Structure 1
Amino acid sequence: MWINIEQIDLSRLAAALSASLNKWIAPENSINHAGVNEKPTVTPLFIIQVPSHLEIALAFSVESHNQVAVAGYAAGYPRYRWSPDIYETIADSISFDTLAGDYPIFKVDFSTLGRITWMSEGEYSEMRANAVDEFLNYYNDLNTQSRQKIWLNRDFVSLNVEALGLRYGE
């Protein structure tokens, strides 16, 4: 049986994606600061289902040498059949050889707190938030039904809200 994108449990996908990203990021793709290579920690920030485009928009915090940057990526969603390891399969297909290579490691912007550097360009890139505060304002304006299509890492967001002095609420 084929799975529709709307059937995906985003919180389960986020957990699988976090494990997958940190599993696939190779040591040679580490960030070099002052001659010291460090494998960054990559954590999902938000996942948005875009059913009309069969796309999942992702954002990650990338932490290295006590600096945090935000990377965004749009992943095309192939059709999957239901299986016990469906979330791991989707997570690996998104991260392997795409995000675990140069993305999002070398192209994120550590100089501007809260800026989202989108790794993928495409037809819908102009519809994506360019900063954490833009995304939070967008999220705050959504109705309850629309929010169900977004998974949000509240721990990371609350840290950014505090650091950026932003308003965030239900």
Structure 2
Amino acid sequence: MHHLARFVAVELGGRPGERLCRRLALSGRRTSLIRLLSAPVVPARAPRVLGVDDFAFRRGHTYGTVLVDVEGGKPFDVLPDRRSETLLAWLEAHPGAEVICRDRATGYTRAIKQAAHRGDRSGRPVASAAESVRCGGEDMSPAPRLPAETRSGAGST
């Protein structure tokens, strides 16, 4: 039964989980279901391609930052706010990000530039190059140059 209650807690959380437990005749109060959850351990190294975005814990009141392993397609960590100092501290504590995907939030830009300038403990920059960064879905990298013979024949068929 404990395994089932934990599954309900993971999938539904507090109040919805409590309602389902009541219907299934399981013992599962809101707070006891939440106590069954534990935060996963965050690895010491950041993923190679890190996604950064803000979200609302409570819209209009409290915001946080979600960090995503873009290549793995999974959330990596959650920061308690969206301040640049918090992201900078996280980047310095978790070296390894080579590419950082973000929106146009200036606070994130500032933190990423500072972290890239300082570099990680190995001396490699946190973000490998400015042209690696995608900003708000727009590719900020320079367009690849085609060989001259390909460019000249582009219009003819």
Between Structure 1 and Structure 2, which shows a larger proportion of strand residues?
1
Query: TM-score w.r.t. structure 2 length?
Result: 0.28
Query: TM-score w.r.t. structure 1 length?
Result: 0.27
Q: Which has the higher contact order (CA 8 A, sep 6+)?
A: 1
